[in-house]
Amino acid sequence: MGESIETGADKRESVIELVSLCKSYQVGDMEVPILRSIDLSVKKGEFVAIMGPSGSGKSTLMNMIGCLDRPTCGSVLIMGKDVSRLTDAELARLRGFEIGFVFQNFNLVPRLSALQNVELPTYANKKEGVDSRKKAKELIGLVGLQDRIDYKPTALSGGQQQRVAIARALINDPSLILADEPTGNLDSKSGREIMGIFTDLHNKGRTIIMITHDPGLAEYADRVVHLKDGVIGAT
Please say if the pLDDT value at position 128 is more than 90. no
CATH code that applies to domain 44-70+85-233: 3.40.50.300
Q: What value does the CA radius of gyration of the chain take, rounded to a whole number of Å?
A: 18
Q: Are 23 and 84 in contact (CB under 8 A)?
A: no
Burial of 132 (0-12, 13-18, 19+ CB in 10 A): middle
pLDDT of 173: 92
| CA distance linking residue 59 with residue 180, whole number of Å | 8
pLDDT of 2: 52
Instruction: With H, G, I as helix, E, B as strand and everything else as coil, classify residue 54.
Output: coil
pLDDT band at 16 (very low <50, low <70, confident <90, very high): very high
Please say if the pLDDT value at position 3 is more than 50. no
Regarding pTM above 0.75, the answer is yes
| CA distance linking residue 158 with residue 186, whole number of Å | 6
Domain ranges of the chain: 44-70+85-233
pLDDT, mean over the chain: 91
What are 191-234's pLDDT values in tens digits?
A: 999 999 999 999 999 999 999 989 999 999 999 999 998 999 85
